[in-house]
Amino acid sequence: MSDRMLKNRLYEQFARVGGALASPARLELLDVLAQGERSVEVLAERASLSVANGSRHLQVLREAGLVESRKQGLRVYYRLAEPGVYDLLQSVRALAERRLAEVDRIVSAYVGHRDELEPVSRHELLERARSGRVVVLDVRPAEEFEAGHVPGAVSIPIDELEERLGELPRSKEVVAYCRGPYCVWSHRAVETLRAAGRNARRLVDGFPEWSAEGHPVEIREDEEVKR
């Protein structure tokens, strides 16, 4: 086999990964899976897809080696194949932010300029949480919190926040986080808390970035792991 043929075959394999990413739906599915393992049904619902269509997209991702699956009873569950998959997703996102002006326009329209104060960095949150100076608030759905969260975080899904404000101490600043930099729930949480007279800020991004940077992750109240 000639060098040219070998090189062609090599780049064909690289293209399998690139081709798997060339779909907004599949990128969103990877983003959802960054929160933890999910069933096909849940993934489809989160990405606004039919179960059949979601399953087809997941099969493409699996064939490209980006996700893995397991079967439990009648359900099929998917997870990211390795941490490097999320690193790849972050790299694509960061490159698009730098090179495509439309990304900034879309983000501004979607998220808006809602912060009167600077968002809290991951390092700052780690230090302040360890010292007990802040309450860390996870506003994702409960099942995502249970799959992994910032140690010591309080779980109050965003739709329940107004009714459960009394569970948060008034004497401490609250730092809210959700799924990532494009998730509006943490913005909504800060708006709700400030409207109620609370001192609140948001994490600069979300749980996947926290975990990917190697910060401690709590799975259960009595079990903490370091990734």
Please state, for a pLDDT cut of 70, what percent of the chain lies above it. Answer: 93
CB atoms within 10 A of CB 212: 18
CATH class of 109-226: alpha beta
Model pLDDT for residues 95-121, shown as the tens digit of each residue: 999 999 898 888 777 666 555 567 999
Percent of the chain scoring above 90 in pLDDT: 75
d(CA 160, CA 12): 48
Give residue 93's pLDDT. 92
Q: Using the Cα atoms of residue 160, residue 38, residue 49 and residue 20 in order, give the sign of their dihedral.
A: positive
pLDDT at position 43 is 96
Instruction: Tell me which residues are annotated as active site.
Output: 178
- Residue 70's SS3 state is strand
Residue with the bigger pLDDT between 114 and 151: it is 151
Residue 48: pLDDT above 60?
Answer: yes
pLDDT for 114 equals 54
Q: Residue 226 pLDDT > 80, yes or no? A: no
Q: Is the pLDDT of residue 122 over 50?
A: yes
- Secondary structure letter of residue 158 according to DSSP: G
Whole-angstrom distance, CA of residue 176 vs CA of residue 207: 11
Indicate if the pLDDT at residue 222 is higher than 50. no
Are 16 and 64 contacting, i.e. CB atoms less than 8 angstroms apart?
Answer: yes
pLDDT at 107: 78
| 20 neighbors 64 (Cβ within 8 angstroms) | yes
Chain mean position to CA 220: 19
Domain boundaries, the chain: 3-88, 109-226
For residue 58, pLDDT over 90 is answered with: yes
> Could you report the per-residue pLDDT of 165-217, keeping only the tens digit for each?
999 999 999 999 999 888 889 999 999 999 999 999 999 999 999 998 889 99
Confidence at residue 189, expressed as pLDDT on a 0 to 100 scale: 96
Where residue 225 falls among pLDDT bands split at 50, 70, 90?
very low
Q: Could you tell me which residue, 67 or 97, shows the higher pLDDT? A: 67
Confidence band, pLDDT 50/70/90 cuts, at residue 88: very high
- Per-residue pLDDT of 152-177, as tens digits, reads 999 999 999 999 999 999 999 999 99
* Mean pLDDT of all residues in 2-24: 93
DSSP 159-200: GGTGGGGGGS-TTSEEEEEESSTT-SHHHHHHHHHHHTT--E
Mean pLDDT (the chain) is 90
CATH placement of domain 3-88: 1.10.10.10
